[in-house]
Amino acid sequence: MRTGGRMLAKVLNLLKTKVEPGISTKALNDIAARELKALGGQSAFLGYHGFPESICISVNDEVVHGIPKPETIIKEGDIVSLDFGVLYKGMITDAAVSVICGRGNKQVFDLVRFTEQSLYEGLAVIKGGCHTGDIGFSVQKVLDKHHYGIVEDLVGHGVGHEVHEDPNIPNSGRKNTGAKLVSGMTIAVEPMPTLGRQAVKIDADGWTVRTVDNSLAAHFEHTVLVTPDGCEILTEVSA
């Protein structure tokens, strides 16, 4: 998983530099697929329950699971969320970043910045013996401070042998509640807040999840290894 996580980080680092006005989400998908193949990994998402592409790319009011398409063209100021899973030697890692195409306004910049902050606040409380509610509480504290909608229908999850495993990792919660984590577990933490309400809907394609009120959303995610006194991030994406 460490090796796959490094592959994943390299691909997301590359894609971040390719998000520019005029590029299609399908072109970004194809870059990700080529780069991952060159690194020796496989997409964990391609064919997963029928998902047709290698990476999920969600734009603006799309929260998660956006299908890359040649007709979806990135524009100046768009929030582009890149959610990628890597399969390497039978094990899976999962991570996501949101980037602003070109120059966004302060509201958009803050949403992306504080979503990432909420992820790291959640990771900071992870250690063997903590509860999933501890993570949710720490993520929620940041998002509530900035009055963002917290999508309760979508959560983080265990990951490793499968893309989605138990336990669920909510983005809200109370301390000392929920499943207890033990050292050696691998989980994906992924806050997905919105600038409006928390309600979401699924498009006719059966995949794309977007906000009901058309408010903008952001998404950050890391796969981590739970250790006795903290966690090891397996999918670190450098600035």
- Residues 58-109: tens digit of each pLDDT: 999 999 999 999 999 999 999 999 999 999 999 999 999 999 999 889 999 9
| 2-233 is classed CATH 3.90.230.10 | yes
In the predicted structure, residue 239 carries a pLDDT above the cut 80:
no
Question: What pLDDT, on a 0 to 100 scale, did the predictor assign at position 103?
Answer: 87
Tell me the per-residue pLDDT of 167-213, one tens digit each, with 9 for 90 and over: 999 999 999 999 999 999 999 999 999 999 999 999 999 999 999 99
Question: What pLDDT, on a 0 to 100 scale, did the predictor assign at position 34?
Answer: 98
Question: What pLDDT, on a 0 to 100 scale, did the predictor assign at position 238?
Answer: 57
Q: What is the mean pLDDT of the chain?
A: 97
**Is this model's pTM higher than 0.85 or not?**
yes
User: Is residue 168 classed exposed, middle or buried when 0-12, 13-18 and 19+ CB atoms within 10 A define those classes?
Assistant: middle
Write down the domain spans for the chain: 2-233
Tell me the per-residue pLDDT of 12-56, one tens digit each, with 9 for 90 and over: 999 999 999 999 999 999 999 999 999 999 999 999 999 999 999
In the predicted structure, residue 125 carries a pLDDT above the cut 70:
yes
pLDDT-based confidence at 237, cuts 50/70/90? low
Measured at the CA of 9, the angle between CA 231 and CA 98, to 5 degrees, comes to: 95
Measured at the CA of 86, the angle between CA 81 and CA 92, to 5 degrees, comes to: 115
Question: What pLDDT, on a 0 to 100 scale, did the predictor assign at position 104?
Answer: 84
